[in-house]
Amino acid sequence: MTTPAMTGPLVANPKPTSFDLDALGSWYVTGAISGLGLWQNNRSPGDRRALSDLSNGQVFIQKTVGEWQFFLQAGAYSMPSLGTAYLAAHNATSAFYGVVPQAFVKYAPNDSFNIIVGKLPTMIGAEYTFTFENMNIERGLLWNQENAVNRGVQANYTSGPITAAVSLNDGFYSNRYNWLWGSLAYAIDKSNTLSFIVGGNTDQSTRVTAAAPLLQNNSRIVNVIYTHTQGPWTITPYLQYTSVPRNSDIGIDHSASTFGGAVLASYAVDSNFSLAGRVEYIGSSGNTSEGTPSLIYGPGSKAWSVTFTPTYQYKLLFVRGELSYVKASSTTPGYALGADFNKTSQARALVEAGMLF
């Protein structure tokens, strides 16, 4: 199964449960069940110093062959990310994308071209939405500027080493279909791929939700992503630029932008045990005297992070630990970390265990 997408080191069930439904074709049923424990300092108000929670209780049903295909993902989930308050699974599920976070129908008239319509995974960034899909348990600082799920339509085309896609969607899940995405990937050889992704709001959106912050949902995003895989190594460096144009009509009185970079890497020690890490930096424009809005920890703030995640998987079962550290600078009191939003660092330790069936 290629959906949900997974960067590794976790591996999906190689022998998924299938049902032959005659004229309806073969349907596959897989899933992810996992829980996590988390400890942190400088927690946000309402957050806990130590907690345990469900990270995934999801099932995936899909048909992957034929002119008409589909994918359905249902269940509960949490989405831990660096430098932000942890939202428990029951709250995250209701506040973000509901109990069916992704679901789409695919029309594939041939092997080179297809169109998907529904609740789609994002095209942007080098990290996916759910914990089991990624090298690390937590998403990174750059991911905090990206959308995760959008509703819309996407066309995909592949020809030799070139893969291209274009999508019209609702961006940060705003239910206003004014975002346009485009991506172009070139497979240099079997070990190296270079991708360019660009997207943005073509109009304006005033709806504000947990999934659709005002500033990010009215932004433009550019990614350059390079992926190298060879032997036990997977290395993915990427650059990201985001900009929010001035729009006084919706309360954005000054433009703002971010620029950042990250390197994600995974090394397979053997068929069961692997080591993964991530380092990243992000900076934002402006200052408080100009009235620049805050995109990170105050106007003009910056932050870097380091994350280390050893993983062990035996057949369908897995366990992994994680240590992460975020350091911010040029922060504005009231926008930073900690109970009073004036701290400039946060350390976390996590463990996640579960099954990919």
Are 75 and 85 within 8 A, CB to CB? no
Q: How far apart are CA 97 and CA 117, in angstroms?
A: 16
Give this prediction's pTM.
0.95
For the CA atoms of 90, 91, 93, 96, the dihedral, rounded to the nearest 10 degrees, stands at 180
**What confidence tier does 1 reach under pLDDT thresholds 50, 70, 90?**
confident
Confidence of residue 2 (pLDDT cuts 50, 70, 90): confident
Per the CB < 8 A criterion, the answer to whether 299 and 256 are in contact is yes
CB-CB contact of 142 with 260 (8 Å): yes
pLDDT digits over 293-322, tens only?
999 999 999 999 999 999 999 999 999 999
pLDDT in tens, 80-109: 999 999 999 999 999 999 999 999 999 999
Q: Which two tokens stand for residue 294?
A: 């805050």
pLDDT (mean) for 189-202? 98
What is the predicted pLDDT for the residue at 48?
Answer: 96
Q: What residue type is 62 in one-letter code?
A: Q
Fold of 17-356: Porin (2.40.160)
pLDDT reading at 33 higher than 90: yes
Tokens of residue 163, six digits: 């893969």
**Strand 17-20 with 26-40, pairing:** antiparallel
Smallest Cα–Cα separation from 52: which of 89, 2, 100, 83?
Answer: 89
Domain spans of the chain, in order of start:
17-356
Pairing of strands 113-121, 317-329: unpaired
Picking from 322, 280, 323, 269, the residue whose alpha carbon sits closest to that of residue 303 is 280
Q: What is the pLDDT of residue 28?
A: 98
Dihedral sign, CA of 357, 63, 111, 164? negative
State the chain's mean pLDDT as an integer.
97
Checking if the pLDDT of 79 tops 90, the result is yes
Q: Are 14 and 28 in contact (CB under 8 A)?
A: no
Q: What is the pLDDT of residue 56?
A: 99
Token look-up 């308050």 returns: 85
* 203-215 burial code (b ≥16 CB/10 A, e <16): eebeeeeebbbbb
Amino acid 329: pLDDT: 98
Question: What 3-state class would DSSP assign to 335?
Answer: coil
Q: Rounded to an integer, what distance in angstroms lies between the CA atom of residue 99 and that of residue 76?
A: 6
Give pLDDT tens digits for 233-286.
999 999 999 999 999 999 999 999 999 999 999 999 999 999 999 999 999 999
Quick: pLDDT tens for 161-171: 999 999 999 99
* Beta-bridge mates of residue 198: 182, 222
